[in-house]
């Protein structure tokens, strides 16, 4: 399986997916830390990929997503954005709504 096929499969198979540096318990950069905190505050389970342990994904995902930086939050197969967008959406309540809807849809699938 190619790296791009692997990325597509991860995005398709996880309703809520965060590509980040490190893990939710041990983020390895400030942006990933802020993003994971915002996602976790929504109270739903989510998948993550530690791009520091996956250099091929780290190299290919920015090209695939047309988004140059990490973290990247994907909900229902769509790129939501990076740290600033995630945090802005969390502050407005929009992120919680999106994540709860995605989790609900995922449970019923």
CB 74 within 8 A of CB 17: yes
d(CA 48, CA 93): 21
Q: Which residues are annotated as a binding site for [2Fe-2S] cluster?
A: 29
DSSP state of 78: E
Residue in the structure block whose two tokens are 């047309």: 66
Binding residues for glutathione: 21, 58, 70, 83-84
Strand extents, DSSP E, the chain = 16-20, 47-50, 72-75, 78-81
Binding residues: 21, 29, 58, 70, 83-84
């Amino acid at each position: 399986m190619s790296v791009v096929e692997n990325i597509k499969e991860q995005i398709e198979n996880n309703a809520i997916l965060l590509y980040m540096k490190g893990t939710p318990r041990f983020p390895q950069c400030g942006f990933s830390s802020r993003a994971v905190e915002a996602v976790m505050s929504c109270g739903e389970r989510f998948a993550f990929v530690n791009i520091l342990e996956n250099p091929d994904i780290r190299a290919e995902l920015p090209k695939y997503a047309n988004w140059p930086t990490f973290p990247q939050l994907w909900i229902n197969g769509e790129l939501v954005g990076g740290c600033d967008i995630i945090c802005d959406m969390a502050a407005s309540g929009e992120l919680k709504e999106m994540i709860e809807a995605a989790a609900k849809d995922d449970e019923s699938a």
